[in-house]
Amino acid sequence: MVNRIANGSRDLHMNHPQQQGFTYIAVLLLVALHGAVLAAAGMVWHTEGQREKERELLFIGEQFRLALHSYAETGSGVVGQLPPTLDDLVLDRRLLSTKRHLRKIFIDPMTGQAQWGILRATDGKSIIGVYSLSHDTPIKVDNFPPPYQHFNSASQYNDWKFQYVPPKKALRIFD
């Protein structure tokens, strides 16, 4: 009986020789197609993730710029004074009551670290801005809002400088 089953199954394959390996090739093609679709989806997902990080970097940079503006506009002593450290934006002790210009030191979305490049004033002590330490190439290259239109020519994220520019003092002319 074993010979009969073995011979019967052999005879089954011999009757349809054109179908041998068809299923195997179909499965290989299906796996290759599935891999190609997953690779394309991965590239789209990566690009969208980088665009989201760029939006987050623009938001965080604006928060730093606004915090520097707030610090310069408040405080005892000289108006226009800028902080010597980023921690002074989180906890400003120049007043009788503490003021927070930022809730926290944000993490750079491009590097994943809380370390930022620091732009210093000409005195070398005061912070006037921050920038990402990432050397990656940005996807966004144009259509930046007015304070950041100079980002249009940036070739790396570390070229995106979020800087507080003090307002120009009005000149009074007397007759």
Q: What is the pLDDT of residue 35?
A: 87
At 29-85, the pLDDT tens digits run 888 888 888 888 888 888 899 999 999 999 999 999 999 999 998 876 666 789 999
The pLDDT of 4-24, averaged and rounded, is 60
Q: Which residue has the higher pLDDT, 128 or 27?
A: 128
Q: What SS3 state is found at 55?
A: helix
Q: Which of 95, 131, 134 is nearest to 112 (CA)?
A: 134
Percent of the chain with pLDDT over 90: 50
Name the pLDDT band for 13 (thresholds 50, 70, 90). Answer: low
Q: What is the pLDDT of residue 172?
A: 45
Q: What is the pLDDT of residue 68?
A: 95
Name the pLDDT band for 153 (thresholds 50, 70, 90). Answer: confident
Tell whether the model's pLDDT for residue 12 goes beyond 70. Answer: no
Q: What is the pLDDT of residue 40?
A: 82
Name residue 158's amino acid. N
* 3-state helix, strand and coil shares in percent for the chain, rounded to the nearest 5: 50, 10, 45
At 81-116, the pLDDT tens digits run 899 999 999 998 888 888 899 999 999 999 999 999
